[in-house]
């Protein structure tokens, strides 16, 4: 099931849609790093660079995949 959540990133409202396992992974990473999900997503957004090959939801999925692979 895909869930959509609204977040405020760098003062702007946005939303991302992720499957439940990705929300769980994102929450786990944020807790381990002792930061909010919004802060983590903002970091992912910043690190995807100016090319923005992926949409934000896809960039979050790739980040989570790479995190747990590493």
Give residue-wise pLDDT tens across range 17-64. 999 999 999 999 999 999 999 999 999 999 887 666 778 999 999 999
> Which CATH number covers residue 56?
1.10.3990.20
**Paired tokens of 55:** 């949409």
Of 25, 22, 28, 29, the residue nearest 4 (C-alpha): 22
Rounded mean pLDDT, 2-31: 95
The number of domains in the chain is 1
> Which domain does 49 fall in, by range?
2-69
Rounded CA separation 4/66 (Å): 22
The whole-number pLDDT of residue 50 equals 65
Residue reference for tokens 């090959």: 53
């Amino acid at each position: 099931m895909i869930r959509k959540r609204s977040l405020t990133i760098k003062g702007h409202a946005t939303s991302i849609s992720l499957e439940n396992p990705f929300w769980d992974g994102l929450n786990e990473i944020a807790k381990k790093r002792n930061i909010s999900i919004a802060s983590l997503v903002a970091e992912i957004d910043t690190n995807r660079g100016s090319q923005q090959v992926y949409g934000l939801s896809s960039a979050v999925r790739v980040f989570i995949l790479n995190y747990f692979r590493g």
